[in-house]
Amino acid sequence: MNKKVDFIIIGQGIAGTWLAFQLIKQNKTVLIVDERNSNSSSRVAGGIYNPLIPKRQRLAYLAQEIYPSLSNDYQELEQFINEKVLFESPIQYILESQSDYNNWATLSQTEPFIQFVKLKDESLSPNILSPFGVIEILNSGWVNIPLLLDTFSKKIVAPNYFLNQTFDEDLLQTTGDKFQYQDFESNAIVYCVGNQIKALKHLENLTLKPAKGEVLTVQLNETFSNHIPQQGIFMLPINEQTFRIGSTFEWVDLSVEATVKGKTEILHKWQKYYTGDFKILEHKAGIRPSSKDRKPILGKIKPYHNVFVFNGLGSKGVALAPYFSKMLVDNMIHGRAIERDVEMGR
Ligand SMILES: Cc1cc2nc3c(=O)[nH]c(=O)nc-3n(C[C@H](O)[C@H](O)[C@H](O)COP(=O)(O)OP(=O)(O)OC[C@H]3O[C@@H](n4cnc5c(N)ncnc54)[C@H](O)[C@@H]3O)c2cc1C
């Protein structure tokens, strides 16, 4: 028998998850189709959110609009899935020189940085070299994305549905204004497939500039929870003595293979500031779905009125997904405009 849903969502990374949540909040029903790819960007990512780009001494894109309310956004999602996934852990950015310190001594007292930065002298561990001190970045932390994705999909029960499979375009039929996929009928379809846009004919006009990234999971002989040291490479405490270390940016080799080159680069940069012993537990690679202008891509795929896309989250999916999924849902349901600089086809 036919099951009716309002939206079919293809892909359940951080984009598809947030989109589904925003739709369910608006009393819409969804079918999610996701093939559970262990190398998807969302499953490889560190999951860090950071309102600052300290090296360039500027705020991240939409920092003031997005970051102060981010943990509240995730708390709402945590209530829905009944699982804690966001951890407020300040990033400790290690300053590189005395002039870096002097600059931040001034900037940290100045708008707009004052609400995001505190200058500190202490080191988290004798194994972390920080002779010029650190800045602590407020409104920063990390999200355990794989845990979020897995618990969210388990919460998808009738009248919502989840299919763990590759979306087969040949099975998608259009009748008038409706889509039929297997035994599901829907009014609209939204593609949230990250970098895997190539084989999908609705997405043939979507262009990304993907960036491969590699990360290591390591075990240390020490623990220092609740802070994320960073200088080029982040050092994210996952639990006890297990840390995620990364990441690299690569635009030519876009395979999902982890490489010796990637590992060497991570270790070289990390060991400039970390001197302790470690054991490598895992090495992974994924492809960030970045756009050419580094902004998200959302909205209607022309000439269709009921086919949509949510993509281009690049290296900031954790922070951008809540804000822009809401913008897309407001557009799809209430006809509100999508900001021009993120609109599909800009
Ligand atoms: C090494 C690395 C480190 C990163 N670190 C961070 C970080 O610290 N903080 C941060 O915010 N971001 C980080 N990112 C970026 C972040 O991962 C992305 O912004 C985000 O995950 C993109 O989410 P998405 O849902 O758009 O795409 P994806 O995560 O790629 O999700 C797409 C989903 O669609 C599914 N799919 C695709 N095609 C099909 C199909 N035909 N049928 C069925 N299912 C399909 C895939 O299986 C997948 O589940 C990092 C990325 C990498 C690679």
SS3 sequence of 15-67: HHHHHHHHHHHCCCCEEEEECCCCCCHHHHCCCEECCEEHHHCEECCCHHHHH
Ligand 1 centroid–CA 109 distance in Å is: 36
**What is residue 23's predicted lDDT score, i.e. its pLDDT?**
98
Ligand 1 centroid–CA 302 distance in Å is: 24
- At 279-330, the pLDDT tens digits run 999 999 999 999 999 999 999 999 999 999 999 999 999 999 999 999 999 9
**What is residue 180's predicted lDDT score, i.e. its pLDDT?**
96
Residues 6+ apart with CB under 8 A from 165: 33, 35
pLDDT of 259 > 80? The answer is yes
* pTM check: above 0.95: yes
Question: What stretches of the chain show up as alpha helix (H) in DSSP?
Answer: 14-25, 41-44, 63-66, 70-81, 98-107, 145-154, 260-270, 317-334
**What is residue 96's predicted lDDT score, i.e. its pLDDT?**
93
Q: What's the whole-number mean pLDDT along residues 187-211?
A: 93
Number of H helices, E strands in the chain: 8, 21
**What is residue 121's predicted lDDT score, i.e. its pLDDT?**
78
**What is residue 201's predicted lDDT score, i.e. its pLDDT?**
87
- At 266-289, the pLDDT tens digits run 999 999 999 999 999 999 999 999
d(CA 290, CA 76): 27
pLDDT of 198 > 90? The answer is no
Which residue has its alpha carbon closest to ligand 1 atom 1? 213
Ligand 1 centroid–CA 291 distance in Å is: 13
Task: Return the structure tokens found at 20.
Answer: 């589904």
Which residue has its alpha carbon closest to ligand 1 atom 52? 45
- Shortest CA distance to 162 belongs to which of 5, 328, 267, 344? 5
**What is residue 226's predicted lDDT score, i.e. its pLDDT?**
84
pLDDT of 122 > 80? The answer is no
Ligand 1 centroid–CA 337 distance in Å is: 26
d(CA 52, CA 58): 6
Q: What residues line ligand 1, using a CB cutoff of 6 Å?
A: 10-16, 33-35, 37, 40-42, 44-49, 166-167, 192-196, 213-215, 246-247, 286, 288-289, 311, 313-319
Contact 32, 153 (CB under 8 A): yes
Alpha carbon of 150 to those of 61, 154, 265, 289: distances in Å? 28, 7, 31, 21
Is residue 182 left, alpha or beta, with left meaning phi > 0 and alpha meaning psi from -120 to 50?
left
d(CA 97, CA 147): 38
Q: What's the whole-number mean pLDDT along residues 9-36?
A: 98
- Shortest CA distance to 39 belongs to which of 187, 164, 167, 195? 195
**What is residue 329's predicted lDDT score, i.e. its pLDDT?**
98
Q: Which amino acid is at 272?
A: K
Contact 57, 103 (CB under 8 A): yes
Ligand 1 centroid–CA 176 distance in Å is: 33
Within 10 angstroms of residue 51's Cβ, the number of other Cβ atoms is: 25
Q: What's the whole-number mean pLDDT along residues 70-83?
A: 98
Q: What is the DSSP string of 236-258?
A: EEEETTEEEEE---BSS---S--
Q: What's the whole-number mean pLDDT along residues 245-257?
A: 96
- At 221-250, the pLDDT tens digits run 998 778 999 999 999 999 889 999 999 999
d(CA 35, CA 177): 26
- Look up residue 82 and give its DSSP letter: T
Where do the domains of the chain lie, and which CATH numbers do they carry? 3-44+146-207+293-342 (3.50.50.60), 211-288 (3.30.9.10)
Which residue has its alpha carbon closest to ligand 1 atom 15? 315
Q: Kindly give the number of the ligand 1 atom that is closest to the alpha carbon of 315.
A: 15
Model confidence at 176, pLDDT cuts 50, 70, 90, reads confident
Task: Return the structure tokens found at 147.
Answer: 């845990």
Triad 104, 89, 137: Cα angle to 5°: 15
Which residue has its alpha carbon closest to ligand 1 atom 47? 37
The dihedral built from the CA positions of residue 56, 62, 65 and 68, taken in this order, carries a sign that is negative
**What is residue 346's predicted lDDT score, i.e. its pLDDT?**
87
Residues 6+ apart with CB under 8 A from 33: 8, 9, 10, 11, 163, 165, 167, 181
**What is residue 45's predicted lDDT score, i.e. its pLDDT?**
96
Burial of 1 from C-beta contacts in 10 A (0-12 / 13-18 / 19+): exposed
d(CA 88, CA 141): 4
Q: Whole-number mean pLDDT of the chain?
A: 95
Q: What's the whole-number mean pLDDT along residues 246-273?
A: 97
**What is residue 52's predicted lDDT score, i.e. its pLDDT?**
97
Q: What's the whole-number mean pLDDT along residues 120-138?
A: 90
Q: What's the whole-number mean pLDDT along residues 201-219?
A: 95
Ligand 1 centroid–CA 313 distance in Å is: 8
